[in-house]
Every structure is written in structure tokens, then in C-alpha cells.
């Protein structure tokens, strides 16, 4: 397979600063989903996918991949979700590629959800918040994924930073990996599951926000009936569609009355059509149309 044409990577790319967030995240996300279709495309440049695209597993291949995806999709999909780990594995040059991808995608109109799954306490959590949610940071994103399993209160620096910047956070609640149940389905002293406790915290953070609050939950689309109250007045990121087995038709069963707030996330189902930009765009359009039929 022929690799897509692109400029050679620079030694130290300096990404343009993307615009600050014009308004609350929940309102911007609702507008993007309504205008562009209910689709989040993951940007996951793992080694096997780079090889499938005819690219080397190095910084040059990473940069060519990221530029191709952003150029093909950022002006038409609602959300792009770069997985930070696949950039971090190349060190500082990989992070530089991520910085440019974030800035270019936001400049083209896509919302960028950086999938970093950060979670810590005190000044360390504040530093993570500054990295992804401070408008002055080169990694500044419209939203970031975070882990609540040091206690929901440990996320306070990120929650406050997101609110101040007009950004969002997506909190891991009911993930699609089987191991997640060990923690998420465990029960607290009041009999509620850990996942429900997290969801209740999210609902309190979003109270009174319209049309959506800035705090979302990550809930796997492969889970079937969750038995949880997903009415958190915030977006529900739903990984697991496509290669992991879930389909658009599964979403009403998983999310029930909250299905309108779902942000379906697909990676390989779109990226596997590359490296042709046209094929990427066609795949994203098909997925968005299928999801729109279910979600409205």
C-alpha cells in the first residue's frame, strides 16, 4: 500500500496556537454533534495501523498519519480524539506531533478530546489540568479524559480548570474492558456501585447547565444494559463501536433515555480505510449517517 504524500517531519515543529474556547463546552459539543453528525473519531496511530497504511513505525510515519487524518476529517467531524499514548511513545518529537495535530484540528473546526486518562492528587493533578486545559498550553484541548479512582474529589483541579477555560472533562465510569468491572461494579457502603457513585458526582457537577454540562462520563457501548442511572446532564462518550463489536443499534439499549447525549467513538472503523483521505471522509460520513438515524 502506498503511503500518503506529506512533507517530511521537521526537527521541532512549532504548532500554531489554536483559538481559545468560544463558550461553554457542553453548548459547543451539542452544536457540533447537531451540525456535523454524532461522531467522534479516534486518532490511534498504533504500530499495526501505521504498517497497514504503508508507514514506518517512527516519528515520520506518526506525523504523516496524524496530518492525513486531521487534513481529511477535522473540517467535517464533530470530535477528534487523539490517544496520547501513541504519541508519547516517541518521546518529545511524538508530543510535538500531538501538539500540532491538536492545534490544526481545532483550527479546522473539530472539537479535540485528548484521550490521556490522567488521574492524580493535589499539585500533580493541577499540573495535568494545566497541560490539557490551560489555554496557554500547547496541548490545550476542548476536553480530556480523566480517571476518578483516587476519589472523585481528586479531580477538582481539572474540573475547575475546564470550567474556567470553557473546556470539558470525560470521567471514566463504566468502561468496556472486562477488568473494569472489578472496581466499577464494586459496591460502596451505601450499596451503590462505584460507577454509580461516580455518575452521581458528575450529575451534581452538571446541575443546571444547558444544554449539557461540561463533565462527561465514559460508558462503553459494548456493555448492554448497564443498570446505572446515566442521566448526568452531560455527554456520554461511548467507545466500543466498530471493531470492538458494538453497533449504532446497540446504543438505545445501553443508554436508554440518555441516548440523545451519547458521543459515539469509532477508531478502526474509520482509520482502517486510510491512507486515502477520500476513503477516510467517506467512511466517517457513513458512520455519522448511521448514527444519526439512531440518535436523531
Catalytic positions are 117
- Specify which residues 171 forms β-bridges with: 146, 217
Query: Are 59 and 94 in contact, with CB atoms under 8 Å apart?
Result: yes
Task: Find all residues with CB under 8 Å of 169, minimum gap 6, and list them.
Answer: 133, 143, 144, 145, 146, 155, 158, 159, 162, 214, 215, 216
Asked whether the CA dihedral 65, 66, 70, 71 is positive or negative, the reply is negative
Vertex 278, ends 250 and 80: CA angle to 5°? 50
Q: Report yes or no: 79 and 262 within 8 Å, Cβ to Cβ.
A: no
The whole-angstrom separation of Cα 96 and Cα 115 is 16
Dihedral angle over CA of 289, 249, 84, 285, nearest 10: -10
Write down the H helix ranges in 167-249: 181-184, 194-205
Q: Are the C-beta atoms of 199 and 172 separated by less than 8 Å?
A: no
Taking the C-alpha atoms of 200, 205, 207 and 210 in order, what is their torsion angle to the nearest 10 degrees?
-120
Amino acid at each position: 500500500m502506498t503511503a500518503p504524500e506529506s512533507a517530511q517531519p521537521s526537527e521541532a515543529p512549532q504548532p500554531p496556537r489554536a483559538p481559545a474556547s468560544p463558550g461553554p463546552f457542553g453548548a459547543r459539543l451539542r452544536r457540533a454533534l447537531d451540525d456535523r453528525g454524532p461522531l467522534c473519531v479516534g486518532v490511534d496511530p498504533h504500530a499495526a495501523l501505521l504498517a497497514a497504511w504503508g508507514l514506518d513505525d517512527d516519528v515520520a510515519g506518526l506525523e504523516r498519519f496524524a496530518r492525513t487524518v486531521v487534513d481529511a476529517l477535522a473540517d467535517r467531524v464533530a470530535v477528534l480524539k487523539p490517544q496520547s499514548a501513541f504519541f508519547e511513545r516517541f518521546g518529545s518529537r511524538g508530543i510535538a506531533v500531538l501538539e500540532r495535530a491538536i492545534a490544526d484540528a481545532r483550527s479546522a473546526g473539530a472539537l479535540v478530546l485528548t484521550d490521556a486518562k490522567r488521574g492524580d492528587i493535589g499539585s500533580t493533578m493541577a499540573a495535568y489540568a494545566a497541560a490539557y486545559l490551560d489555554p496557554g498550553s500547547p496541548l490545550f484541548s476542548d476536553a480530556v479524559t480523566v480517571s476518578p479512582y483516587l476519589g472523585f474529589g481528586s479531580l477538582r483541579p481539572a474540573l475547575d480548570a475546564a470550567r474556567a477555560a470553557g473546556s470539558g472533562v470525560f470521567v471514566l465510569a463504566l468502561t468496556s474492558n472486562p477488568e473494569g468491572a472489578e472496581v466499577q461494579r464494586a459496591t460502596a457502603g451505601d450499596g451503590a456501585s462505584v460507577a454509580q457513585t461516580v455518575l452521581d458526582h458528575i450529575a451534581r457537577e452538571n446541575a443546571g447547565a444547558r444544554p449539557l454540562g461540561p463533565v462527561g462520563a465514559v460508558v462503553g457501548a459494548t456493555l448492554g444494559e448497564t443498570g446505572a442511572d446515566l442521566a448526568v446532564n452531560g455527554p456520554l462518550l461511548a467507545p466500543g463501536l466498530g471493531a470492538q463489536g458494538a453497533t449504532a443499534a446497540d446504543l438505545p439499549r445501553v443508554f436508554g433515555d440518555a441516548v440523545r447525549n451519547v458521543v459515539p467513538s469509532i477508531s478502526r472503523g474509520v482509520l482502517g480505510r486510510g491512507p486515502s483521505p477520500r476513503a477516510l471522509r467517506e467512511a466517517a460520513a457513513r458512520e455519522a449517517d448511521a448514527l444519526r438515524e439512531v440518535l436523531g
